[in-house]
């Protein structure tokens, strides 16, 4: 039978490292100022989130999300030994698209040089921090049904240009970083149920939608974009809004349930699984999930300390980071659980 297999993996983060102690002094162009722009500090950020630093693009250089996606995709294709021309479907998860429409996947397709009249299918998916698991579920289904043979699945985020660098936005601003991760998922003939993608489950609860959102525009209004002339900009429209504590509690609860469900449905135990790769929103969330789901601590992989929350990119970025460090190896079995805005969540078990 046809099974979906991860053929290659790659990630990219911009070179600029932004440490916690630099954050209070950055203006909205990310340029350090002599005076404080935001009341926050390294101690608060580390204690509440575990984050030490994150990466930002060079705003003056005009980088886009599809540029970050391109770098990660090139690396994943090279790792897989697959030519971009062989890709017959792109699935791109992002909450920070290049523009409102068209979707970012078509810009990536062009940048990869595989656009044109025979260009492959391009999907943008909007599941925020759950993007990778949702995308893997789609790629797995497309491949198992024989619809596509080689799917490029990418999570890419350019957050830093859409954050509020003032005390008003500090609860959200300190969390996010820029980056991208990609996998090439391909069809293989195999009857071995422990090969490739073993399990995916995606879920959502729309009643949580207004606990974490970014408006930018409001389609019920004309014009759809309205900035208050007196305040220069409408902060609610311009920047992400979050009810942090509520998101935290829902994240822990749903990630624990989703993780246990993955094991129940597959009959696997932590003896079979090599690595737990949770979404990277807050180290405290991941520590709580590890504790409540009774996951062996040495199997949990985190990277939030160095990249912050890169939303749809966190899972492939974390796997690739630890692969470069020599911990994760080809053939390892990964259980990944994610949670994000929507609320959306899910989990997947796959062999690298």
The distance of closest approach from Cβ of residue 259 to ligand ACO in the complex, given in angstroms and rounded to an integer, is 16
Whole-angstrom Cα distance, residue 60 to residue 30? 10
Whole-angstrom Cα distance, residue 312 to residue 171? 20
Given the DSSP bridges, would you call strands 333-340 and 344-351 parallel, antiparallel or unpaired? Answer: antiparallel
Whole-angstrom Cα distance, residue 20 to residue 240? 20
Taking CB under 6 A as the criterion, the residue among 73, 259, 286, 311 binding ligand ACO is 311
Residue 37 engages ligand ACO in binding (rule: CB under 6 A) = no
Contacts to ligand ACO from residues 66-95, by CB under 6 A = 95
Please, which residue, 11 or 309, has the CB nearer to ligand ACO? 309
Taking CB under 6 A as the criterion, the residue among 16, 244, 253, 274 binding ligand ACO is 244
The distance of closest approach from Cβ of residue 128 to ligand ACO in the complex, given in angstroms and rounded to an integer, is 4
Residue 285 engages ligand ACO in binding (rule: CB under 6 A) = yes
Taking CB under 6 A as the criterion, the residue among 20, 73, 94, 282 binding ligand ACO is 282
Residue 196 engages ligand ACO in binding (rule: CB under 6 A) = no
Whole-angstrom Cα distance, residue 297 to residue 311? 23
Q: Among all residues, whose Cβ is closest to ligand ACO?
A: 244
Taking CB under 6 A as the criterion, the residue among 108, 251, 317, 328 binding ligand ACO is 251
Taking CB under 6 A as the criterion, the residue among 46, 48, 74, 215 binding ligand ACO is 48
Q: Which two tokens stand for residue 19?
A: 């440490």
Residues with catalytic roles: 129, 279, 309
Phi and psi at residue 93, in whole multiples of 5°? Answer: -100, 130
> Among 3, 1, 2, which Cα is nearest to 198's?
3
Residue 56 engages ligand ACO in binding (rule: CB under 6 A) = no
Pair 74, 83: CB distance under 8 Å? no
Q: Count the neighbouring beta carbons within 10 Å of the beta carbon of residue 220.
A: 6
Residue 312 engages ligand ACO in binding (rule: CB under 6 A) = no
Q: Which stretch binds ligand ACO (CB under 6 A): 40-48, 226-234, 267-275, 291-299?
A: 40-48
Whole-angstrom Cα distance, residue 153 to residue 183? 5
Taking CB under 6 A as the criterion, the residue among 152, 154, 212, 293 binding ligand ACO is 212
Pair 162, 192: CB distance under 8 Å? no
Q: For residue 292, how far is the Cα from the chain centroid?
A: 23
The distance of closest approach from Cβ of residue 273 to ligand ACO in the complex, given in angstroms and rounded to an integer, is 23
Please, which residue, 24 or 103, has the CB nearer to ligand ACO? 24
Whole-angstrom Cα distance, residue 211 to residue 342? 8
User: 173 exposed, middle or buried (CB, 10 Å; 0-12, 13-18, 19+)?
Assistant: buried
Q: Which stretch binds ligand ACO (CB under 6 A): 12-20, 145-153, 244-252, 324-332?
A: 244-252
Interface with ligand ACO (CB under 6 A): 40, 44, 48-49, 95, 128-129, 170-171, 174, 212, 244-245, 247-248, 251, 281-282, 285, 309, 311, 340-341
């Amino acid at each position: 039978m046809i099974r979906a297999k991860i053929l290659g993996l790659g990630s990219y983060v911009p070179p600029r490292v932004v440490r916690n102690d630099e954050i209070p002094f950055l203006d909205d162009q990310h340029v350090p100022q002599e005076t404080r722009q935001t009341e926050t500090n390294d101690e608060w950020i580390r204690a509440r989130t575990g984050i030490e630093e994150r990466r930002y693009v060079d705003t003056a250089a005009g980088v886009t999300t599809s540029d970050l996606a391109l770098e990660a995709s090139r690396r994943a294709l090279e790792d897989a030994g697959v030519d971009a021309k062989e890709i017959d479907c792109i699935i791109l998860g992002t909450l920070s698209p290049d523009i409102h429409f068209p979707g970012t996947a078509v810009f990536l397709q062009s940048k990869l040089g595989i656009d044109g009249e025979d260009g492959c299918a391009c999907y943008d998916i909007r599941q925020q921090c759950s993007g990778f698991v949702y995308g893997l579920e789609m790629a797995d289904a497309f491949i198992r049904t024989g619809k596509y043979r080689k799917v490029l699945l990418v999570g890419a985020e350019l957050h830093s240009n859409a954050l509020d660098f003032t005390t008003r936005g500090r609860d959200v601003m300190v969390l996010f970083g820029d980056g991208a991760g990609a996998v090439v998922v391909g069809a293989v003939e195999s009857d071995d149920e422990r090969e490739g993608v073993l399990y995916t489950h995606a879920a959502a609860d729309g009643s949580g939608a207004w606990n974490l959102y970014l408006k930018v525009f409001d389609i019920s209004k004309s014009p759809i974009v309205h900035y208050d002339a007196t305040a220069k900009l409408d902060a609610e429209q311009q920047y992400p809004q979050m009810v942090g504590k509520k998101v935290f509690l829902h994240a822990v609860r749903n990630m624990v349930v989703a993780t246990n469900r993955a094991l129940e449905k597959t009959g696997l135990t932590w003896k079979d699984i090599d690595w737990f790769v949770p979404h990277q929103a807050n180290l405290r969330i991941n520590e709580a999930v590890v504790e409540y789901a009774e996951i062996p601590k040495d199997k949990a992989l985190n990277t939030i300390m160095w990249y912050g929350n890169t939303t749809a990119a966190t899972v492939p970025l974390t796997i690739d980071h630890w692969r470069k460090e020599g911990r994760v190896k080809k053939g390892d079995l990964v259980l990944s659980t994610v949670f994000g805005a929507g609320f959306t969540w899910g989990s997947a078990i796959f062999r690298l």
